[in-house]
Structure 1
Amino acid sequence: MSDPIERPYILHMFTATPQMSPFDVNMAADAGYQVIVPYCNVDGTMVTNLTQDAIFSRGPKGVSRTGIFIGGRDVMLAADMLDTARKAMVPPFEVSVFADPSGSYTTAAALVALVERHLRKEFGMELGGKRVLIAGGTGAVGRVAAAMAASLGADVAIASHVDAARATRVSDEINERFGIKTTGVSTATPQALRRALADTEILLATAIAGIQVVSAEDLGHAKRLLIAADVNAVPPEGIAGVNVMNDGKPLASAPGASTPGTTADGAIGIGALAIGNVKYQVEHRLFVRMRTAGKPVYLGFPEAFAEARAVAGELG
């Protein structure tokens, strides 16, 4: 006899932090999950047991309507938890898993995909070989963006406004983890920041919201700049002159710059809302893919980046 009850779509959400992100809960509901359960303060040792509790109770039909989301703030820990959950599966009891700690995977994917799009559209160039400076690059989004850009062959510098040691430590961590090459630089003083900007072609600002990391005067030293992109949607702008609505708009002059002139002729800006629009679509599509795939899928930052490239390509 067939089961007369249509089983609900259940999403189990794991986070190492004291609370799950309300943003991700909303996104999961909008993607069609009907029962959404957060599990907070989850450490790596708990993931196997939680995963197996989720997969063995519903049978083959129910397991196809069950998913796991991994949040938190630590991009490395989330990647480890995704791998642990995958290894905990016992086919045919296997569910889909999606990791996006602090939205960093989908935000970084949108950021780098839009930079790629505008490089091709406005300059006929690829990201490979470009000198990329990530201001505020030691945080979650900066780390993932660095890994994505470096994997495409960009010359990536991760900047810290604290000191060079912190930047170098983060650079070494992601180099070892992802088999890439980045460097760490200090932007703790205006002089250090301006030295770093002198050779920068792509400037990415991934600092915490409400902090300006590059002023108009600083931009006057970025004579080779092609694109400045900023994920900060809270005033003031993370990069002066990059409005949240910008999506390829030419950068304004840098008034008051100590070096005569402005940033490089033709440099353009990409703002937080343009990036956020792509990020939103990417996260929504990945949640829907997890729910509707018909077979287990495992979604981390490579899959987020592939989806972001697809969304950016649809923008024309």
Structure 2
Amino acid sequence: MPARYILHMFTPSAQMSPFDINMAVDAGYDVVVPYCDVSAAEIRGLTQDAIFSRGPKGVKATGIFIGGRNVMLASDMLETARAAMVPPFEVSVMADPSGSYTTAAALVACVERQLQRAHDTSFAGKRVLVLGGTGTVGRIAGVLAAGLGAEVSLGHHAKLASAEAAAAETGQRFGCVLAGADASTPEARRAALAGADIVLAASVAGVQVVSEAERAAAAQLLVAADVNAVPPEGIAGVGVMDDGKQLPEGRGVGIGALAIGNVKYQVEHRLLRSMREGDKAVYLGFREAFAMAREVIAEKDGQ
């Protein structure tokens, strides 16, 4: 009888995300087990409990998912789980805290697509402003954009010092250069937007971070992208279904939350399936998610 597919889901939070549980079941896992309030110190022991009980063949039907709300902690937990493997007892591991890795991957890949389609250019040398940049999605989107050659600033709604601290912490952890930006007042946002080629809205749901007047004043915008699907839109004038729709002024185009979310869903689904279907263990973080997002978009465009 074939071994049943088991996914052990570890989170440092009080609850595992129902979204990720649904995704795991839809990706074909037979048994999905959440473990809550898991500390970093427990990952090694839990990983080895998972790998040694099913034999070298049974581990191919076992996987580990790491959730939570801290992008640095999730990355550390992924590396701890990898180091805990004892080949041939080795299982696949995926990290996606608060969906941030797959969402940020989809966001940046969608923007990359529109830069090419609408403007025949890339992220290289562009100035990127991430509003909600100290959150989970914003930090990882900033890291990915910086990796593509952009000059990235993370904006904070209240304090410049908080933005600068998040930029320094995130850049040091993931090996890139990020700056902080003041987004605490309409005047500060206007100043930050005035120098931006790309604005990414990654704030909490239901909060508008760019007003119509602020967007209209951003004269050199090429792309405005928003991951907020809960009204009001995070960037005024960018609808949830927009996928390269021309902004009311200038040359810029907008990308809405559902256009990004469709790619995010496919990325998470495919990564979860790749863990279950592959012959070798894989370790999946935000860089692997970005590679998958590019693949999804290339298929969408028939490339």
8 Å CA contact 1:242, 1:270 repeated in 2: yes
1:121-270 correspondence to structure 2 within 5 Å? 121-252=117-248, 263=249, 265-270=250-255
Deviation (angstroms), 1:175 = 1.3
Larger Rg: 1 or 2?
1
2:71 is matched with: 75
1:63 is matched with: 59
8 Å CA contact 1:187, 1:196 repeated in 2: yes
2:268 is matched with: 283
Q: 2:37 aligns with which of 10, 34, 41?
A: 41
Q: In 1, distance between residues paired with 2:174 and 2:55?
A: 36
Q: In 2, distance between residues paired with 1:47 and 1:63?
A: 17
What is the TM-score with the length of structure 1 in the denominator?
A: 0.94
Structure 1 counterpart of 2:276, which letter? R
8 Å CA contact 1:117, 1:313 repeated in 2: no
8 Å CA contact 1:74, 1:101 repeated in 2: yes
Structure 2 counterpart of 1:60, which letter? P
Q: In 2, distance between residues paired with 1:37 and 1:175?
A: 33
- SS in structure 2 at match of 1:207: coil
Q: 1:105 aligns with which of 89, 101, 108?
A: 101
- Superposition RMSD on alpha carbons, in Å? 0.7
- CA deviations 1:242-282 (Å, max 9, x no partner) are 00000001113xxxxxxxxxx4x221100000000000000
Across the two proteins, how many residue pairs are aligned to each other? 301
Q: In 2, distance between residues paired with 1:98 and 1:171?
A: 24
Q: In 2, distance between residues paired with 1:182 and 1:221?
A: 24
What is the TM-score with the length of structure 2 in the denominator?
A: 0.98
Please tell me whether residue 25 in structure 1 is matched to residue 21 in structure 2: yes
Deviation (angstroms), 1:92 = 0.6
Deviation (angstroms), 1:60 = 1.4
Q: 2:258 aligns with which of 257, 273, 285?
A: 273
Q: In 2, distance between residues paired with 1:198 and 1:122?
A: 20
- CA deviations 1:120-177 (Å, max 9, x no partner) are 0111001110010001110000000000000111010100011100000000011111
8 Å CA contact 1:109, 1:304 repeated in 2: yes
Q: In 1, distance between residues paired with 2:58 and 2:29?
A: 13
- SS in structure 1 at match of 2:244: strand
Q: 1:50 aligns with which of 46, 49, 73?
A: 46
Structure 1 counterpart of 2:17, which letter? S
1:297 is matched with: 282
Gapped runs of 5+ residues in structure 2? none
Structure 1 counterpart of 2:104, which letter? A
Deviation (angstroms), 1:220 = 2.0
Deviation (angstroms), 1:182 = 1.2
- SS in structure 2 at match of 1:57: coil
Identity of aligned residues (%): 62
- CA deviations 1:25-84 (Å, max 9, x no partner) are 011111110000000000100000000000000011211100000000000000000000
Please tell me whether residue 119 in structure 1 is matched to residue 104 in structure 2: no
Q: In 2, distance between residues paired with 1:307 and 1:6?
A: 29
Moved over 6 A (4+): none
- SS in structure 2 at match of 1:97: strand
- CA deviations 1:285-306 (Å, max 9, x no partner) are 0000000111100000110000
Q: 1:91 aligns with which of 81, 87, 90?
A: 87
Gapped runs of 5+ residues in structure 1? 253-262
Structure 2 counterpart of 1:272, which letter? A
Structure 1 counterpart of 2:77, which letter? M
Structure 1 counterpart of 2:293, which letter? A
1:15 is matched with: 11
